[in-house]
Amino acid sequence: MESCSAMAKINLNQPILSPSPLPRNTISNLLHPSPLFFSDRKPFPSFFLKLQKQSPLADNYIEATPSIKCHATLPGIYSEASTLADIDWDNLGFGLIPTDYMYMMKCARGEGFSKGELKRYGNIEISPAAGVLNYGQGLFEGLKAYRTRDGNIVLFRPNENALRMRAGAERMCMPAPTVDQFLETVKETVLANERWIPPAGKGSLYVRPLLMGSGSVLGIAPAPEYTFLIYVSPVGNYFKEGLSPINLVIENDFHRASPGGTGGVKTIGNYAAVLKAHTAAKAKGYSDVLYLDCVHKKYLEEVSSCNVFVVKGNTICTPAIKGTILPGITRKSIIDIARGLGFEVLEQLVSVDELLNADEVFCTGTAVVVSPVGSITYMDERTAFGDGKVGRVSQQLYTALTSLQMGLSEDQKGWIVKLK
């Protein structure tokens, strides 16, 4: 590596402190790390950023340096003059690859977020009595940054993620960043990690904003302090099958959400609840689990991390948003795109019988994008779709969406936000 700096040039409307690149002859000194400070008072153990080459077990490590201080609402613009990170871009999976920077800001209960810091990626200090650890008071979002063929870096509908986080925060009794704060901090974090954005067509930079009750609380109550944090990782396909059809199993005993609960917001507990069924399904060779409603146990809800669609002729059906289903941003986008292509799209109750008699089935989500379903197993009986091939409608919608996200087609809907 020529440099440990994430940026070769920084151009801000206001001054900002930046770490200097480390010369080659100083890399050996990193074998004797010094403490890393995440605040003015509390030292943290040093940590290393691990750079993947041909596998996750590459031998290159870089010591993290002290944080960069900035404001959450600064209109910062970073430009990357150095080469891309030295990893195998052709074999990206959906796993964590530590990058250079993360973003953090805090506020007290009853107040609003104001200041933030761009820091070197690494561990954070948190009280064992934190609300997020004891009572699960936390939310997260997921969105992607893409590098287009003409050299632009773009985000896909990030304002929708900001609005969804604010809605979830209200349900979970937490303050949330404003939409503008959310957008600006996402932009700063992405551009600070620009060298980790995959080349056009090789993947994307997955952006994970977190909102959590970080203050100490013993009794059941909202935490007194909150942390908003963003980290990123380059990713490839979520399912190892890529665009090839996946195989789902319908879960009868466990349920993802219930009426009146938190299934309709992106709270962290929703995902812990699916781990048991998800792990069991993976062990049996399935790609993922499709959950049913917990009342009648016959209507579709969600797959573990994505929404589901059923195609019959020119009609596409998907379960209606009714409090137990996450309002997916990819889901919302596919509905708009499908209607624009002349399909009839219905948001309603969808039964298992309708599912099993469909012409095509596919899933949507930020991570999975559009994923065709090759088979559904229900009550130990397997129903196949499409003879193992990607369905016509799934392919059409996948192409329309990804062409827009990657800058290959004109953005007539105003969904793309260009960062540079």
Q: DSSP character for 253? A: S
407-416: average pLDDT: 94
More confident: 24 or 342: 342
Q: Is 220 exposed, middle or buried (0-12, 13-18, 19+ CB in 10 A)?
A: exposed
Query: CB–CB of 223/130 below 8 Å?
Result: yes
Q: What is the pLDDT of residue 204?
A: 96
Is residue 145 a contact partner of residue 205, using CB atoms and an 8 Å limit?
yes
> Cα dihedral sign for 186, 192, 195, 196?
negative
Encoded tokens for 21: 């690149």
| Residues in Cβ contact with 94 at an 8 Å cutoff, skipping those fewer than 6 apart | 206, 235, 236, 237, 238, 367
The tokens describing 234, both together, are: 């380059």
Task: Give dist(CA 260, CA 274) in Å, integer.
Answer: 18
> What is the average pLDDT across 215-220?
97
pLDDT at residue 173 greater than cutoff 70: yes
Domains of the chain: 9-235 (3.30.470.10), 246-405 (3.20.10.10)
Q: What is the Cα–Cα distance from 264 to 120, expressed in whole angstroms?
A: 33
Task: Quote the pLDDT of residue 237.
Answer: 85
Strands (E), 64-218: 68-71, 77-79, 101-108, 115-120, 138-140, 143-147, 153-156, 204-213
Residues 6+ apart with CB under 8 A from 414: none
Q: What angle do CA 19, 95, 226 make, to 5 degrees?
A: 60
What's the pLDDT at 312?
97
Contact present, 186 and 216 (Cβ < 8 Å): no
pLDDT of 3 > 90? The answer is no
Residue 121 near residue 196 (C-beta atoms within 8 A): no
pLDDT class of 238 with cuts at 50, 70, 90? confident
SS (H, E, C) 46-84: CCEEEECCCCCCCCEEEECCCCEEEECCCCCEEECCCCC
Residues ≥6 apart with Cβ < 8 Å to 330? 306, 307, 364, 365, 366, 368, 369, 370, 401
Residue 381's beta-bridge partner residues?
378
Q: Is the pLDDT of residue 129 over 60?
A: yes
Residues 352/248, Cβ–Cβ less than 8 Å: no
Name the pLDDT band for 83 (thresholds 50, 70, 90): confident
Report which DSSP code applies to 121.
S
pLDDT the model gives residue 57? 34
Q: Using an 8 Å Cβ cutoff, are 199 and 179 in contact?
A: no
Strands 344-348 and 315-319: parallel
Q: Catalytic amino acids?
A: 266
pLDDT in tens, 349-376: 999 999 999 999 999 999 899 999 999 9
Banded model confidence at residue 242, pLDDT cuts 50, 70, 90: low
* Each residue's pLDDT tens digit, 27-71: 333 333 333 333 333 333 333 333 333 333 333 333 333 334 444
**pLDDT exceeds cutoff 60 at 115:** yes
- Which of 238, 234, 209, 236 minimizes the C-alpha distance to 99? 234
244 pLDDT tier (thresholds 50, 70, 90): confident
What is the spatial distance between Cα 82 and Cα 6, in angstroms, rounded to a whole number? Answer: 9
**Calpha distance 131→382 (Å, rounded):** 43
Block residue for tokens 């940590």 = 47
Tens digits of residue pLDDT in 388-401: 899 999 999 999 99
> What confidence tens digit (pLDDT) does each residue in 279-318 have?
999 999 999 999 999 999 999 999 998 999 999 999 999 9
Per-residue confidence (pLDDT) for residue 387, from 0 to 100: 87
For residues 72 and 187, which has the higher predicted lDDT (pLDDT)?
187
